[in-house]
Amino acid sequence: MKKIPFLLTCIGMLSFTSCVDKAYDLDNVDPTVAIGGDSISMPFVNSMKLYMKDIIDTSKNKLLKVNEQGYCIQKNGVIGVTVPKVEVPSVSDQQYTGKALVIDFTSLLSTAAADGLQPASSSPLHAQAKDSIQTTLSIAFPKEILALDSVSLNGTMLNVHLAVQGLPAWNGMKLTGKVNIPAIFNISDPAVVGNVWTFTQDITSATTVIDKQLPLAGLVLSGKEIGADFKIDEKIVYEIAIDVPAATLPVSVSSASITPTISLKNIVPHCLKGIFDVSFDKIKEVFDLGKELTEIFGEYSYFNVEPVIKLDLQSNLGIPMMLDATINGTNKGVTADSVSFDLWTEASPSPAVMASTKFWIAQKSQGKPAAYNYVEVPGLNHLIGSLPDQLELLVDGYSKPATSCSYILKTDYKASVKYDINVPLALGESSHILYEDTVDIEGEMEGLPSSRMCIEVYGSVLNTIPLNVGITLTPADAKGLPLDIEPVHLKINECNADGTAVLSNVSVKLTDTKGELKKMKKLITKVIIATVEGHTTPIKPDNGLDITLKLRFPGGIIIEDSEK
């Protein structure tokens, strides 16, 4: 028996058949001929096994596979995704100088004397001054940033520089102070409590310098909207006090000045946390179906299918993304049908971690693993069941709106879409498979009476194909041309819905009223496999028919007297 293409058509569409001559070898022939009673029987087909794997050759097709469900269209792979890049803002060093504070010791001594401190030279003195210094910082943030909660900085320093000059030559003097740093500056130094830095220093010369480097971990912006003119405008308030102990005052004193300078050095944004407006490059992946499957199933094929598309979206991006997905079915370049659905990606906790978000895209959630998110897509069965020439997967991704998330600058972010398309095949409404073969029985017919008017075909068929099955037998001459005899049909019982076997006992008669049976040398055998209403069991390679048939000639053998 030669293998012929697997042909699937819709009613009303073209059907394709192939005719193959077959001469059975002795393994398929029962040599027993029974004579007696009112009939004679002989083997026709002792054991003809017809399986789906004999009809469908998966070795010649890239998409057609076999899995635990049976025959399916299966394709998997990985689509690389270009991750959006956010440019690193460039910020120059900043320096802010405040006005000098002047402390007049002559005035302080006069005030002390007027208050009755006698003698003035033996009284302690306390001089205090308070002022602020304005700091501004402009940063050209990328347009993808809509609002910021915080900006972490890498290696940035806030330097406080206090230059005290013109101090009198007194012993035991102390300089104390505190600097109130605005909450927008996140200082990571144990000496700073509640964003206030306090200090005390002995004064040993007329010129004293306070120089403190405070690590600036970042900027706290609390959802501040970002625009083209983004600017930080904050005042740093400082208080300075000079204390002179008693009994150390000289007769003559002068005034002193304190000049503050605040600077920001090495301003390098490292991580941005806020609301972003970024988008992936559009993804387009095309899967050719027509080129792969039309030759097997025919141009007008249709299947009842329960396709499942499994997607695993992987990314180390700290921004959760929304994805608009569309699947188009196209025929000859024209979109015939389409379905759309929404997906998303989870934010990765770290660039070192590829976060995985898995989707089970189908019309039913049956069989979905626990790790997958179910996405119901009505119309997916019809779209793929019609076997379009191509499937186009289109994905357009953008950041999840109004969601605060993190983006680490200068990081190699990666993303990919791992797909696994599985479409178990089950015949659709009004579809059928037509298999045709021609069996040579000339040897079995030799020596039989030429006047025979009826032949009975009987036997059994074991069916494991989860579809309607019918067998038609048509007598043919030695050239395989049909004789003028009404074909007969063998009715085969459906197998069980789960594909387990059901046996059918069959018996039909070929009746000849025109003397055609004497020409019968072959039998054209057609196997028609059609839809079973309510059955969606996919076809498996081992589904098939085990056919055992014999010929019987009712009426026995009539021996004519040649001398009459």
Assess contact for 175 and 282: CB atoms under 8 A.
Answer: no
Residue of 432 and 511 predicted with greater confidence:
511
Residue-level pLDDT at 483: 92
pLDDT of 520 reads 87
Please give the share of the chain, as a percent, with pLDDT higher than 70: 77
Res. 481: pLDDT tops 70 = yes
Average pLDDT, stretch 368-375?
Answer: 95
Q: Between 206 and 421, where is the model more confident?
A: 421
Confidence of residue 264 (pLDDT cuts 50, 70, 90): very high
Residues 35-63 have a mean pLDDT of 62
Q: What is the DSSP string of 433-444?
A: EEEEEEEE-HHH
Q: Say how far apart CA 307 and CA 304 lie, in whole Å.
A: 9
Token pair 């395989």 is found at 480
The fraction of the chain above a pLDDT of 90, given in percent, is: 38
pLDDT score of 561 = 34
Neighbours of 28 (CB within 10 A): 16
Choice among 10-24, 150-164, 425-439 with the minimum mean pLDDT: 10-24
178-202 pLDDT per residue, tens: 999 999 999 999 999 999 999 999 8
The pTM of the whole model exceeds 0.75: no
Q: What is the mean pLDDT of residues 145-173?
A: 88
C-alpha 488/C-alpha 472 separation (Å) is 6
Confidence of residue 2 (pLDDT cuts 50, 70, 90): very low
Q: In the structure, what pLDDT confidence band is assigned to residue 7 with cuts at 50, 70 and 90?
A: very low
Kindly indicate the confidence band of residue 173, based on its pLDDT and cuts at 50, 70 and 90.
confident
Question: Residues 480, 19: contact at Cβ < 8 Å?
Answer: yes
Say yes or no to pLDDT of 270 above 80.
yes
pLDDT at 227 over 90: no
pLDDT, residue 512, reads: 84
Mean pLDDT throughout 120-140?
81
Average pLDDT taken over every residue of the chain: 80
Query: Residue 476 forms beta bridges with which residues?
Result: 482, 522
Range 127-139 average pLDDT: 90
The residues, any chain, with a CB within 8 Å of residue 202's CB and separated by 6 or more, are: 173, 174, 175
At 405 the pLDDT is 93
Residue 348: per-residue pLDDT: 95
Q: pLDDT for 74-107, tens place per residue?
A: 889 999 998 888 888 888 999 999 988 888 777 7
Q: Compute the average pLDDT of residues 497-524.
A: 86
pLDDT digits (tens, 9 = 90+) for 301-319: 566 678 899 999 999 999 9
121 φ, ψ to 5°?
A: -70, -10
Q: Is the pLDDT of residue 37 over 70?
A: no
Q: Residue 508: which residues within 8 A CB-CB, separation 6 or more?
A: 456, 457, 458, 473, 488, 489, 490
Which residue intervals of 82-189 are DSSP H helices? 105-114
Per-residue pLDDT for 120 more than 50?
A: no
pLDDT value for 294: 59
563: pLDDT confidence band, cut at 50, 70 and 90?
very low
In this predicted structure, the answer to whether residue 438 has a pLDDT above a threshold of 60 is yes
Q: What is the pLDDT of residue 15?
A: 28
Give the pLDDT confidence score for residue 190 in this predicted structure: 92
How high is the pLDDT of residue 29?
Answer: 36
Is the pLDDT at 560 greater than 60, yes or no?
no
